[in-house]
Amino acid sequence: MKFHKEGWPSLLIVLVFSALVIFIAHYFFPQFFIAKLFAYALSGFLTLTILQFFRSPTRQFTQGDRLIIAPADGKVVVIEETEEAEYFKGKRLQVSIFMSPINVHVNRYPIAGHVKFFKYHPGKFLAAWEPKSSTDNERTTVVVAHKNGQEILFRQIAGALARRIVWYCKEGDVAEQCGEMGFIKFGSRVDLFLPIGTQLNVKIGDVVKGSQSVLGEF
């Protein structure tokens, strides 16, 4: 189990805050055991929360030329045909994965290919399960073109708690299937827009793991 590099600033803030809280408890309330206990309990809770959230477990990747692999951990909350208006401007099969604060929040490429399109959108911070979060929230749009000509679009979408999306890709980059492409801090969501007719291996309510669960096949 590794600690993700995106977590170091948050961990530093929590450690400084914890040291301050413990100092206040000892300096201003030396006679109050409850104050010291609260300070240590709060510090421990916050530190463990950050360590848990930014964990990056070592995994055996599931890969295959015709496979579409889950780009994130979480629960499948949407499967529907919809109009994708930003890039395809046509019908696509949408699959959405909701990432709760207890999930691993590393985001990975679902297929191999090259990054054909990328755009960052500043926006709101609606709850990630809200339908409008896909178009109104802070988000990125990434399109990966497979060697067979198929294109898959996926979006990192910030949630009510998430305030920062991190990405490591740009147009023209080589996308390695299951390779790390970004991170979303705290609760969030990833939407995929697949070709109509894609054979899905998941249903609404399924819990998937990024880089391991097969969402479907071309």
CA distances from 182 to 105, 140, 190, 214 (A): 9, 10, 11, 19
Structure-block tokens of residue 30: 């030396």
- Return the active site residues: 188
Q: Are strands 113-121 and 139-145 parallel, antiparallel or unpaired?
A: antiparallel
CB 7 within 8 A of CB 53: yes
**Structural element, H or E, at residue 208:** strand 207-208
User: Distance between CA atoms of 79 and 95, rounded to whole angstroms?
Assistant: 5
Q: Are 214 and 185 in contact (CB under 8 A)?
A: no
For residues 67 and 48, is the Cβ–Cβ distance under 8 A?
no
Cα 183 to chain centroid distance, Å, stands at: 5
Q: Which amino acid is at 40?
A: Y
Q: Is residue 7 helix, strand or coil?
A: helix
Helix (H, G, I), strand (E, B) or coil at 13: helix
| Type and span of the H or E element at 22 | helix 8-28
